[in-house]
């Protein structure tokens, strides 16, 4: 999986100036006292100043991860590779380990499950057969939009994800928690790292303590 920052607009000073314009004031440089303003805005959910800073990512992850993250819509724009239009050989995600089903929860995972060689072989064969069948359909001239139905949720996809700093904070505050699916959490933790690098003061106060 990959998370790459493509572009960004603004800085912590952008947030400060967006808030201060209410009093017809702006400034050229960020000062230490501006951190108090950002902390106040975040604490009291004055979100609009954080909406004037934005980031664009290019992300590569399995379909089952993408379908979790695309649910986040407010303040975000998503454009993804379409298997209606492309027919190059798909890439599949293969887990390093298999996690167990938790006892007291309907979601998530707990511990590790070791597959016996037979079951591991069945899994690998099934994935390989999906790829062979897809490529055979394409070679037969079947439209990519229909041939794609045989591809598994482990297929890798790519998308551009753009949005405001505040919108990505909402994503990371929800999806960086310990009870989130690991693969989804891995993507969001990379997003969080980049947001922290680009907007260190704002991100410090936008990110919930239990996700840091």
Q: In the structure encoding, which two tokens stand for residue 189, read together?
A: 């933790």
Catalytic member of 67, 148, 170, 175: 175
Q: What does the pLDDT profile of the chain (212 residues) look like in tens digits?
A: 999 999 999 999 999 999 999 888 888 999 999 999 999 999 999 999 999 999 999 999 999 999 999 999 999 999 999 999 999 999 999 999 998 888 877 777 888 889 899 999 999 999 999 999 999 999 999 999 999 999 999 999 999 999 999 999 999 999 999 889 999 999 999 999 999 999 999 999 999 875 65
Residue 124: what pLDDT? 95
Conformational region of residue 152, where left means phi above 0, alpha means psi within -120 to 50, and beta covers everything else: beta
Provide the whole-model pTM. Answer: 0.91
Nearest one of 76, 40, 60 to 157, comparing CA atoms? 60
Q: Contact at 8 Å (CB) between 169 and 191?
A: no
Residue 208: what pLDDT? 86
Q: Contact at 8 Å (CB) between 176 and 189?
A: yes
Distance CA 171, CA 178 (A): 14
Task: Tell me if residue 84 is catalytic.
Answer: no
- Look at the domain 1-212 and name its fold: Gyrase A; domain 2 (3.30.1360)
Residue 19: what pLDDT? 95
Residue 42: what pLDDT? 95
Q: In the structure encoding, which two tokens stand for residue 17, read together?
A: 């100036």
Taking each continuous run of H as one helix and of E as one strand, the counts in the chain are: 8, 6
Q: In the structure encoding, which two tokens stand for residue 32, read together?
A: 């230490």
**Reduced to 3 states, what is the DSSP secondary structure of residue 182?**
helix
């Amino acid at each position: 999986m990959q998370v790459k920052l493509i572009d960004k607009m603004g800085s912590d000073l952008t947030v400060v100036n967006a808030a201060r314009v209410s009093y017809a004031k702006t400034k050229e440089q960020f000062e230490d006292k501006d951190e108090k303003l950002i902390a106040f805005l975040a604490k009291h959910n004055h979100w609009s100043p954080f909406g004037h800073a934005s980031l664009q990512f290019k992300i590569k992850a399995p379909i089952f991860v993408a379908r979790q993250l695309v649910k986040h819509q407010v303040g975000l724009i998503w454009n993804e590779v379409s298997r209606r239009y492309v027919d190059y050989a798909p890439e599949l995600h293969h887990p390093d380990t298999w996690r167990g089903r938790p006892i007291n929860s309907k979601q998530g995972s707990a511990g590790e499950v070791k597959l016996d060689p037979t079951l591991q072989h069945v899994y690998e064969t099934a994935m390989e057969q999906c790829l062979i069948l897809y490529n055979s359909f394409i070679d037969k001239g079947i439209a990519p939009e229909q041939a794609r139905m045989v591809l598994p949720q482990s297929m890798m996809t790519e998308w551009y994800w753009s949005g405001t700093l505040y919108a990505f904070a909402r994503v990371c505050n929800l999806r960086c928690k310990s009870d989130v699916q690991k693969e989804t959490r891995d993507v969001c933790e990379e997003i969080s790292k980049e947001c922290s690098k680009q907007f260190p003061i704002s991100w410090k106060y936008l990110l919930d303590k239990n996700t840091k």
